[in-house]
Structures are given as structure tokens and as C-alpha cells.
Amino acid sequence: MASRQLFQNDPRWENKIMGNGRTETIGKFGCLVTSLAIIGNHFGGNETVASFNDKMKQNNGFQGPWVRAFRINAAFPNVNYQKRIECHNQDAPLDEIDAALAGGSLAAVRVDYSPATGIQSHWVVLHKKSGSDYQMWDPYNSPDKPPTLVGRFGFAGKAAQIIQEIIFFGTGTLQAPKTSATSKPAPTTTTTTPPLTSSTPLSSSGQAVSNPAASDESETLVISPTVNGLTLRDKPRISGSKVLKYLPQSSKLVVLDDVAKAKSKIGKRNNWFRVREIEGKEGYVAAWYITAVSDPALGSHRTRHANAPSSPSKLVVKTSASSVSLRTEPRVASNTLIAYLPFGTELLVIEGDNAASKIGQRNQWLNVQTVTGRKGYIAAWFVTKA
């Protein structure tokens, strides 16, 4: 079905407050909300941006002004939230996008819409592959701009470099990329809540296989900033506290407080969390600038004048494929598997000085630790430097 184009800056609703926000309007911050309405209508829905905003608000679809995209089926019951991939500062997995589009899904992707300093986030909807580019529906009405991803945002590089985050939606299961002839095909899964780990492990060749996945998370609460450059402080207050680090929006933080109490504070002003980040630093972050990784609230964030994230002081890597195996030993065997890690998972390298030279090299392994403290070995050819 062809999409009925909607725009966030439509005068009928551009001044409407987004979700449970205070001053955030659809016209200024509603690119993801509008993208979700476009997606829902593409799959047979009939909503305006305003009516979709209202339905999501009535069905716990917002954390403040930021939308919880996995709740899309509250307004469009036949549309599934299929998968989310964070790919900030690393090449996006275009093979996953291509397979999804070929299988009838759509991809909402986050980009930096301006070459200016800082991050000016914007969401668009990819609906068709076009050579090395993608046809897109832009929720911001700019008729003088090209209707393709690279044509519009090519100042940031190629498609894989432009895309910083992906969310897949469809009416069935997500089509996975084709695997090699020597490996088993990866199963496709549809989720209503964003998973912390993937259910498609890798074989020794790095391809996905159909064994059930082990989880790297237990009852630990893992959170993530909703802004880039969030301040990690030594005390739970702004005045009189010392800045320990400025955190990138892609950070994963382990909450050190009581989990049940902490969950009730997410997104609330004048509340703080005691946390630990990937390098082991412990401190406090403002609860009103974070979201749960298992239940993310997402939106458009203009951080041009925010603090620049601190550079890692230790060697930190990210997984560069989906379902990368974390193992007890640097070898592939059924009894060495610990967990399957999603694309873009941050890992602290905990071995010697020559570790950096192994990154990206086949038949090399790295001894690493997850943000939750799980230690193990990862194939060095499936990570990049964070």
C-alpha cells in the first residue's frame, strides 16, 4: 500500500504538544511521531499525526515528550515493532536494512540533519532501495530537498555513515539477511518490547544460526541517556558536584540503586540515579534525562550546544554484527557460550597493551567485560573501536 505522506510541520498540528511534554511541539520535535504515523498508514491505518499522538498518549506511548516506538500497535494493531539497532559512530548494517525492505518492512532511521557542529537528530522512513541510496519519506515538509537518504544527507558520507539508529516495522516477521551456504539461516523474530539480547547466535564463521540465545542480563536495570553529552557527577545534584564524565547518547549505564524504586523514577525531574558506565566510573545522572534500555523513549534531540561526550580513557570496543558470541574461552564450542550480543554493544577490553592491534583481525580474540560486569572473550573481527 502506498504511504499517505504526513508532515510534522503541517499547520493543523505543528503547535500541538507532543505526548506528555510541556513545551515540546510536534512541529519542532515530532519527526519520529510523524514517521510512526506514516508507517502505520502505509500498512493500512488511517490516522493524522494529531490523532496518532493522542492514541499513543492514551496508551502509555510516551515518556514525557519522547515516544515509546514499540507501542505503535496501540494505534495500529496490525503493525509490529520488529527490531532496533543503534549504530552511532559505526557503519550501519545495510544488509539488514536491504533484507527488511525486500521483505516488506519499513525502516525508521535517525540521521544528523545538519553539517553544523554537534548532533541535530532527525528521523525519516526508508521504503525502497535505490542503487547505493534509499528512497525515503521525510516527515518534515521540504519540497525543495531530494527525496533520498544520500541525496538529502550526503554531507555525512555514504548511507552506512549517515544512519545512526534503525527501527524496523512491519506486519509480519522481520526478514533477516541471507547467510552463506556453509551456515544455517537466521531465524526472524517479532518483538513488542525491545530485546536486550538477540535470539540469533553466530556460528564459528560468524554467521547466524538457530540455537536459542543465552541472555547477558538478569534483573539489572540498564539505562541510556536521552541526550548527547549527559553529565555524570560525583554527587546527586548540580550545584556543588564535580563532573566525572560527559556521556554519549549511546551509553549503557547500570543502575546501582534498588531496581524497583529506580524504575519509578525514570524520566522524573529532581530525581537521580547512582550508576556505573562501561569504563567502571560510578556516579550520578539526572533521572529526567534517561530512559530504560528495555523500554526506550526516543525522539529528536538537538544537542548542538551540549557538552561533547568525553573520549574513552580505556580501550572500549563495539560489536559490528548482530548476535556476536561472548564466550568463556577464546574458541568456538557449545560449552563456551555465555551470551549473544546485539549490534553496537559496548565492551571494555581487559587485556594487555597489544589488544588494539587485534581489532578487526580474523582468528584473534579479545578478553572483554560488559557494562553489567560479565567477562568473556569476543571474536576481534566482529568489533570496532568505540
Q: How far apart are CA 336 and CA 377, in angstroms?
A: 9
| Total residue count of the chain as it appears in this document | 386
2.30.30.40, 3.40.50.1950, 3.40.50.620, 1.10.10.10: CATH of 316-385: 2.30.30.40
Residue 120 is predicted with a pLDDT of 85
Contacts of 238 by beta carbon, 8 Å cutoff, 6+ apart: none
Residue 214 is predicted with a pLDDT of 39
Query: Do 265 and 271 contact (CB within 8 A), yes or no?
Result: yes
CATH 2.30.30.40 is the classification of domain 222-292 = yes
| Spans of the chain below 70 pLDDT | 1-3, 179-218, 301-306
Q: CA angle at residue 295 from 49 to 9, to 5 degrees?
A: 20
Report helix, strand or coil for 225: strand
Residue 271 is predicted with a pLDDT of 97
Q: How far apart are CA 139 and CA 147, in angstroms?
A: 11
Residue 123 is predicted with a pLDDT of 97
Residue 200 is predicted with a pLDDT of 34
Q: How far apart are CA 315 and CA 174, in angstroms?
A: 34
Q: How far apart are CA 3 and CA 173, in angstroms?
A: 20
Domain boundary assignment for the chain: 26-170, 222-292, 316-385
Tens-digit pLDDT profile for residues 232-286: 999 999 999 999 999 998 899 999 999 999 999 999 999 999 999 999 999 999 9
**Third-level CATH fold of 26-170:** Cathepsin B; Chain A (3.90.70)
Task: Judge if 26-170 and 222-292 fold alike in CATH terms.
Answer: no
Q: How far apart are CA 207 and CA 224, in angstroms?
A: 29
Q: Can you read off the three cell numbers belonging to residue 289?
A: 534525562
Q: What is the CA radius of gyration of the chain?
A: 20
Q: How far apart are CA 247 and CA 126, in angstroms?
A: 29
Tens-digit pLDDT profile for residues 3-46: 578 999 999 999 999 999 999 999 999 999 999 999 999 999 99
The kind and range of the H/E element at 52 are helix 49-58
Q: What's the pTM value of the predicted model, to 2 decimals?
A: 0.87
Report helix, strand or coil for 281: coil
